Structure 1
């Protein structure tokens, strides 16, 4: 999908009891900001935020859960420089990005992020604006230290595709991730790892019908 194609949505649904959940999609930037204010004021916390572009304008889809928990921030429509400023502001307060969505407005990368106040021992890390080689190198190094991707986003820029990802130390179960798979190759990954008792927890598509997935053991 290019930035100007009509949006398509992929979602995961689980049948179980739990707290109240609300979802929104196709919100403009102003509408999303109002939803953020309303949901936070109503005791909801963001579980997922995805940014994308329609007719050159940023739009957002989000999921909110009404539950207690550590302090959180939701930021959106941030440039690379603004994202870096957010890091400098929130890191000293003990906040870490647990979800990063990347998208492109006028060939300029933008980011929608969820920050949560967490124990530094959780070892949450992140990277943005990486090309495929940079992302693969980080995945290899982090993987050697049991740090796995929990959220990955890709977005087109003038000279190709860039990746933004959050990573978390995870030592209690086996995990696997795949990257840059064609449709047919991705289906082989699905068949193989389901057969080994793994279950997918995250998947997203990038342009040119290439898929990436993080499939940790569940």
Structure 2
């Protein structure tokens, strides 16, 4: 297996667990074909869609905290599970983009709008109840960081080992990355965000149950991300995670690629809301499903999106 990393990875505050795990969905209050050719300002959607796999799914973006909670409650009551969420700001007010799908074989919980301390407390509580983290997104609100996260009771792959960290500087992230990859774990999720004007990272590693090669990069400018994207796509990799974040007015990207088989995929970044919506409509209309959406803010009102669609 191939493991690569670039600039600094990020302060380990969460904890290491070895779990294999399964309650009923909890509506927690909180909250290739084409490479990424020209970094289109990425799109987000406010349109529902039906997965090519016949699993109903819904995506929304640009939601205020209240709108997100209302949408969350409505969809969960209809049997949907939150599978992806990202936070960002618009006019200094938190906004959310998220994906739900109607497939929840394991108990799950989700929270948003948490401070670092609140996230840690929720993490400790849920892990003690047999949950494991499946997704975490850090995002800047003013000069501080907030978190949105999803936990569930699904069995962990491999031998059940997993690791979660947040609040890491670039150097701390790199050290954690090197440590856990050196012990045979795979990076499965990374979120970049700004806190007090500094890049920070939250990440999840798991013991892989397959032997597909993978690579990861972080701290990339838009041009660097596009160059890496082109290189890896040319080598047969597909993007499986992308996180856009802004530090000092500059947008950066952290991403993961792997060589798992795929029926087709499309990735875009740097999309305005309108561009994201257009891309969303285009690819969903061609039978693709939105699997990743990352919202971030350039300037006070410049919301941008990075996204991945797959078949």
TM-score by length of 1: 0.91
Q: For the residues of structure 1 that align with 2:287 and 2:114, how far apart are their CA atoms?
A: 37
Q: Matches of residues 19-58 of structure 1 in structure 2 within 5 Å?
A: 19-58=106-145
Q: Cα offset for 1:78?
A: 0.2
Paired position in structure 1 for 2:238: 148
Q: For the residues of structure 2 that align with 1:68 and 1:182, how far apart are their CA atoms?
A: 37
Q: Cα offset for 1:158?
A: 2.2
- Judge conservation of contact 1:6–1:54 (CA < 8 Å) in 2: yes
Q: Which structure dedicates a bigger proportion of its chain to helix? A: 1
For 1:68, what is the secondary structure of its paired residue? Answer: coil
- Judge conservation of contact 2:244–2:305 (CA < 8 Å) in 1: no
- Judge conservation of contact 2:98–2:293 (CA < 8 Å) in 1: no
1:100 aligns with 2:100: no
List runs of 5+ in structure 2 lacking aligned partners. Answer: 1-87
Paired position in structure 2 for 1:126: 216
Q: Which moved more, 1:85-94 or 1:171-180?
A: 171-180
- Judge conservation of contact 2:143–2:197 (CA < 8 Å) in 1: no
Paired position in structure 2 for 1:109: 199
List runs of 5+ in structure 1 lacking aligned partners. Answer: none
**Offset from partner CA, 1:136-189 (integer Å, 9 cap, x none):** 011111112231222111111225111111122132311111222233332332
Q: For the residues of structure 1 that align with 2:195 and 2:256, how far apart are their CA atoms?
A: 22
Q: For the residues of structure 1 that align with 2:146 and 2:277, how far apart are their CA atoms?
A: 30
RMSD: 1.9
Q: Which residue, out of 207, 212, 216, partners 2:306?
A: 212
Q: Decide whether aligned partners of structure 1 residues 51 and 176 sit closer, same or farther in structure 2, where only a CA change above 3 A counts.
A: same
Q: For the residues of structure 2 that align with 1:24 and 1:175, how far apart are their CA atoms?
A: 29
- Judge conservation of contact 1:4–1:56 (CA < 8 Å) in 2: no
For 2:97, what is the secondary structure of its paired residue? Answer: coil
Q: Decide whether aligned partners of structure 1 residues 3 and 211 sit closer, same or farther in structure 2, where only a CA change above 3 A counts.
A: closer
Aligned residues: 217
1:137 aligns with 2:239: no
Q: For the residues of structure 1 that align with 2:129 and 2:145, how far apart are their CA atoms?
A: 25
TM-score by length of 2: 0.65
For 1:8, what is the secondary structure of its paired residue? Answer: strand
Higher relative contact order (CA 8 A, sep 6+): 2
